[in-house]
Amino acid sequence: MSTDLMPNRYIPGEADLPGRESELIARRDEVLGASYRLQYRRPVHFVRGEGMWLYDPDGRAYLDFYNNVPSLGHCHPEVTAAMAEQAARISANTRYLEPKLVDYAERLVDTFPNELDRVVFTCTGSESNDLALRIARFASGNEGVIVSNYAYHGTSAATAAVSPNLGDAVKLSPFVRMVQLPGPAGVPESQAAEFFEAQIRSAITDLNRRGIGVAALLIDSIFSSDGVWVDPPGFIAGGVAAVREAGGLVIADEVQPGFGRTGEHMWGFERHGIVPDLATLGKPMGNGFPIGAVVGRRAPMDQFGATSRYSNTFAGNTVGIATADAVLTILQRDQIPEKALAMSQRLRAGLEKLAMLPYGISGIRNAGLFFGIDLGLDGTTPASRRSMALNVVNAMRDDGVLVSTTGANEDTLKVRPPLVCQAEHVDQFLAAMERALIKIAG
């Protein structure tokens, strides 16, 4: 990702850092590839994590309201125990008979609508989206892919080529078409469904005229990289139907909204009342252990599998499966999504109170514990709104609370804490955010 797309990055010479961190940065620069970036103007150095907290070498605790990867919190004891126990016994792949692989696959598909009853395991969300695109192109016989105009779907060559979020330096496939979302376009919610469907139909028309055809609509159902444009629920349904009419498949990228993140549903697409043809999973699935999956309808899965092999040595390995199984057990047993929904309501109420003050909150959007918070007063320029958001992010980092930014202009705060956050964590976040807003406004 180009440096101008990572505005929270450390820029040499801009921050006064302790010798320990300065030395580590210098060593990184001597050995790591130039594509790496450090987050925050004053990079953070962590040595351990526990629950909602990350700790630096001096023992200072940072409240994590950014990382959705450890969905059950950092180093969850049951998850790490399951991982360690399996690693100490055997780590094997899917070419050998393994009851836990089948047990987990059955449990996982049971959380989906009945139409989605097949699963193929991967290691990452990028691999999941890459595989889903291959299946969609094979099953449809077409090449075209429709995405939102600031989408991010992965880092492989195929997924980067359908990820406009990565910037102009990363060339999009000539087979990709981008569509505007109603929210960023300023379309009222009452007209959102009609607007989105019209955008999809226009993209389909162009793909068909050029002899490309539509293979897939690939969407993150909370449009996180676009700025968390989640409402109104169901606005994507007409576009989904249009893609199916044109012979394409619908791929729900559940890497961000999946595994209970929205609170009301296990999967983000359920919030819109649709059933995709394929759903792609990643990050939160193993609470930090690299495991992903594609869950889909039998017909396209069988079509693809009959003539194409997908053999990935580490995908579905026994350690990953044991870890993911522990995550799913805890999510269901402890009613984590339901509790996360209650915390999201508390967080939303607190943010709405802050928005009544003249600190610069101009919009709040969320689906469960995934928030987009717009900053900037009416009449301010895009550059000033972006600057304000970045200043708030870095002020909160200095106050011991971690968040980031999202959206095409990077003027939206991205807030997505682990699902295990409690009332005291929400209140601490709100207090830190108010301090940051006051500091920046002053």
pLDDT in tens, 357-369: 888 899 999 999 9
Helix, strand or coil, per DSSP, at residue 407: coil
Q: Identify whether the C-beta of residue 101 lies closer than 8 Å to the C-beta of residue 92.
A: no
Arithmetic mean of pLDDT, 420-435: 97
Going by pLDDT thresholds of 50, 70 and 90, the confidence category of residue 4 is very low
Question: What pLDDT digit, counting tens, does each position of 237-271 carry?
Answer: 999 999 999 999 999 999 999 999 999 899 999 99
| Domains defined for the chain, CATH in brackets | 44-74+336-441 (3.90.1150.10), 77-333 (3.40.640.10)
Structure tokens belonging to residue 194: 């009609």
Please check the confidence at residue 102 and state whether its pLDDT lies above 90: yes
371, 396, 376, 397: which is closest to 387 by C-alpha? 376
State how far the alpha carbon of 210 is from the alpha carbons of 143, 177, 214, in Å.
Answer: 11, 12, 11
Q: Identify whether the C-beta of residue 233 lies closer than 8 Å to the C-beta of residue 273.
A: yes
CA separation for the pair 70, 60 (Å, rounded): 20
171, exposed or middle or buried, with CB in 10 Å at 0-12, 13-18, 19+? Answer: exposed
Give pLDDT, residue 20. 81
Please check the confidence at residue 146 and state whether its pLDDT lies above 80: yes
Give pLDDT, residue 8. 53
Going by pLDDT thresholds of 50, 70 and 90, the confidence category of residue 5 is very low
CA separation for the pair 199, 147 (Å, rounded): 11
State how far the alpha carbon of 433 is from the alpha carbons of 253, 352, 419, in Å.
Answer: 30, 12, 19
Q: Identify whether the C-beta of residue 129 lies closer than 8 Å to the C-beta of residue 154.
A: yes
The residue among 217 and 9 whose pLDDT is bigger is 217
Question: How long a stretch of residues is the chain?
Answer: 442
Arithmetic mean of pLDDT, 132-142: 97
Helix, strand or coil, per DSSP, at residue 250: strand
Which pTM does this prediction carry? Answer: 0.93
Give pLDDT, residue 41. 86
Give pLDDT, residue 6. 46
Please check the confidence at residue 284 and state whether its pLDDT lies above 80: yes
Question: What pLDDT digit, counting tens, does each position of 286-306 carry?
Answer: 998 999 999 999 999 999 999
Positive or negative torsion for Cα 377, 382, 388, 394: positive
Q: Identify whether the C-beta of residue 214 lies closer than 8 Å to the C-beta of residue 147.
A: no
Where are the alpha helices (H) located in 210-284, listed in sequence order? 237-245
Please check the confidence at residue 425 and state whether its pLDDT lies above 90: yes
pLDDT cut 90: percent of the chain above it = 78
Question: What pLDDT digit, counting tens, does each position of 18-41 carry?
Answer: 678 788 888 888 888 887 888 888
Give the mean pLDDT of the chain: 92
Please check the confidence at residue 424 and state whether its pLDDT lies above 50: yes
CA separation for the pair 138, 172 (Å, rounded): 20
Q: Residue 315 pairs with which residues in a beta bridge?
A: none
Give pLDDT, residue 313. 85
Going by pLDDT thresholds of 50, 70 and 90, the confidence category of residue 272 is very high
Please check the confidence at residue 3 and state whether its pLDDT lies above 50: no
Question: What pLDDT digit, counting tens, does each position of 156-213 carry?
Answer: 999 999 999 988 888 999 999 999 999 999 999 999 999 999 999 999 999 999 999 9
